[in-house]
Structure 1
Amino acid sequence: MPEIPDKRYFSISEAAVLCGVKAHVLRYWEQEFPQLDPLKRRGNRRYYQQHDILLARRIRALLYADGYTIQGAREQLHRGVAEAGSEPAQAPSGTASSDRRLRYLRQELEAMLDLCRQGH
């Protein structure tokens, strides 16, 4: 996947390229995943931010690479948010899937931290 450029807002067409899906897929995911909620301005134009791109990439990985259904991906995202907000649990058993999820969560948290540091 292409690297996310250092800019504040992305059009839906830019976001689609960065996520490796078509624009109509992003619009559909907005309906299915309430966490994916880009800014909407004049004429209902969507403006995605870096955290939206990261979330859409995570959704894409859950659906396409990991083989989850929409409902299963929703549950995984919800579980990931719940785990991130709770006290540290025992380490996972070390499966490749758990390692991949942890790496992704770390990257996502680092990206959010970078955004906060930049004052966005």
Structure 2
Amino acid sequence: MADKALPPIPVKRYFTIGEVGELCGVKPHVLRYWEQEFTQLRPMKRRGNRRYYQHHEVLMIRRIRDLLYDQGFTISGARNKLQELVQHERDRRKAGEVPLEGMEAVEIDHEAFEAALHDEEATPSAARSVDLSQLLQLRRELFEIRELLTVGR
């Protein structure tokens, strides 16, 4: 199953191992095994040793799955490649770049946006001048930025 066939990741804070298995197309026992093999993968454990994964961990699992199943890496090779990718993203952040996976820059008419936000008597036409799809794209980018910021915690 290629990455494109995987379902979208819902916007929520924590995922159970069963949910992650469905989102990533792997069985829970495989996820537990990968935890032992990939030190970057550390889901939070709560009562009864239940695992709770965050959004960035689901993305990491999808990346691991792609390396192993689609690109044919061995566990050791995937571990090394994942470490390279993580280091590359750290270097990009240090250089001031913010990687937004799967996101494209969207140009927003800032004057119309500001007018719609600050004009107390904003007319419906002023509000419509800010394209809803642009706002949704901006929202997605902000969620991605929030996830990137929580990875380092």
Q: Does structure 1 conserve the Cα–Cα contact (< 8 Å) formed by 2:100 and 2:144?
A: no
The aligned residue for residue 62 of structure 1 is 67
1 or 2 for the larger relative contact order (CA 8 Å, sep ≥6)?
A: 1
Alignment equivalent of 1:52, drawn from 36, 50, 57: 57
Give the number of the structure whose alpha-carbon radius of gyration is greater.
2
Q: Does structure 2 conserve the Cα–Cα contact (< 8 Å) formed by 1:51 and 1:108?
A: no
Q: Does structure 2 conserve the Cα–Cα contact (< 8 Å) formed by 1:51 and 1:112?
A: no
Provide the rounded CA distance (Å) in 1 between the counterparts of 2:92 and 2:33.
33
Provide the rounded CA distance (Å) in 1 between the counterparts of 2:47 and 2:102.
29
The share of aligned pairs that are identical, in percent, is 54
- 2:19 partner amino acid: E
Alignment equivalent of 2:145, drawn from 105, 113, 116: 113
Unaligned regions of 5+ residues in structure 2, if any?
A: 1-5, 94-98, 104-140
- 1:40 partner amino acid: K
Aligned pairs, number:
102
Provide the rounded CA distance (Å) in 1 between the counterparts of 2:56 and 2:92.
23
Question: TM-score, length-normalised on structure 2?
Answer: 0.60
The aligned residue for residue 21 of structure 1 is 26
Distance 1:87 1:55, change over 3 A: closer
Provide the rounded CA distance (Å) in 1 between the counterparts of 2:59 and 2:90.
18
Alignment of 1:1-120 (within 5 A): 1-86=6-91, 106-107=100-101, 112-115=144-147, 116=149
Provide the secondary structure at the position in 1 that maps to 2:45: strand
- 2:145 partner amino acid: L
Post-superposition offset of 1:53: 0.4
Post-superposition offset of 1:46: 0.2
Post-superposition offset of 1:86: 2.7
- 2:34 partner amino acid: W
Provide the rounded CA distance (Å) in 1 between the counterparts of 2:29 and 2:92.
38
Question: TM-score, length-normalised on structure 1?
Answer: 0.75
Q: Does structure 1 conserve the Cα–Cα contact (< 8 Å) formed by 2:41 and 2:57?
A: yes
Q: For residues 82-116 of structure 1, what are the alpha-carbon distances to aligned partners after superposition, in whole Å with 9 as ceiling and x for unaligned?
A: 2222369xxxxxxxxxxxxxxxx742896651334
Distance 1:41 1:87, change over 3 A: closer
